[in-house]
């Protein structure tokens, strides 16, 4: 089932019900609630995190989403976890590098998958944590179970490589995809500098007595 869901996502054909966005500010905490995602799949990465007390496979997707709350084409970062071991449960997934961005958070639930109870963001704003531990929802991700699609909708337009972490009592970290600020290329700075010099020269010539 997990592989078939991944295949549908890769084709950009995964259909979800629309839901209102739930913003989360630095230092904030919100209950897990439905949030749709979709559009054009821009990037995807999969990895296994096995710190010894559990073994979890996760896949992360980046979508350019025409229905994004911040702008058409802004990026959704979407995670899914599968507990593939026979050891412990998985209690958290943490995504990084959100400190420069606005975020809406939620999940897209499929039958047989586990929804997060609470979603938190650190005071610095850099990490978003999906918490399956509190017991108010469907609970931890046990062996053989998978999570809902965990959605962080952002105002970012570009992405880069970064980190993703899974935790129970211990934690493991592996490569992931994270939002990135758009920085002008050196050529752009050169053009800007040339333009400013040209304007300065024109102004000097105009007001020369």
Among 18-22, 56-60, 64-68, which stretch is predicted with the lowest mean pLDDT?
18-22
For 163-193, how does the pLDDT look when each residue is reduced to its tens digit (9 = 90+)? 999 998 789 999 999 999 865 444 333 443 4
- Nearest alpha carbon to residue 94 among 147, 35, 39: 147
Distance of CA 123 to the CA centre of its chain: 18
E-assigned strands of the chain?
Answer: 29-31, 40-49, 56-64, 75-83, 92-95, 103-108, 113-114, 118-121, 128-131, 146-147, 149-154, 158-167, 171-180
Average pLDDT over residues 31-40: 94
For 74-111, how does the pLDDT look when each residue is reduced to its tens digit (9 = 90+)? 999 999 999 998 888 999 999 999 999 999 999 998 87
Q: Report d(CA 175, CA 80) in Å as an integer.
A: 14
The pTM is what?
Answer: 0.79
């Amino acid at each position: 089932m997990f592989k078939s869901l991944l295949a549908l996502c890769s084709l950009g054909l995964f259909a979800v019900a629309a839901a209102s966005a739930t913003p989360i500010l630095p230092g904030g905490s919100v209950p897990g609630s439905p949030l749709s995602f979709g559009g054009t799949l821009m990037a995807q990465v999969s990895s296994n995190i096995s710190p010894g007390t559990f073994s979890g496979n996760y896949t992360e997707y980046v979508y350019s989403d025409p229905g994004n709350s911040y702008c058409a084409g802004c990026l959704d970062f979407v995670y899914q976890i599968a507990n593939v071991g026979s050891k412990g449960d998985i209690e958290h997934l943490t995504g990084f590098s959100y400190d420069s961005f606005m975020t809406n958070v939620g999940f897209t639930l499929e039958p047989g998958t586990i929804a997060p109870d609470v979603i938190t963001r650190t005071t610095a704003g850099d990490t978003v944590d999906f918490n399956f531990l509190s017991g108010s929802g469907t609970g931890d991700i046990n062996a053989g179970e998978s999570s809902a699609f965990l959605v962080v909708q952002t105002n970012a337009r570009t992405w880069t490589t970064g980190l993703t972490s899974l935790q129970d009592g211990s934690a493991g970290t592996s490569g992931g995809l994270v939002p990135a600020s758009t920085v002008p290329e050196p050529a752009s700075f050169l053009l800007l500098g040339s333009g400013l010099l040209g304007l300065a020269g024109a102004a000097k010539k105009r007001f020369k007595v």
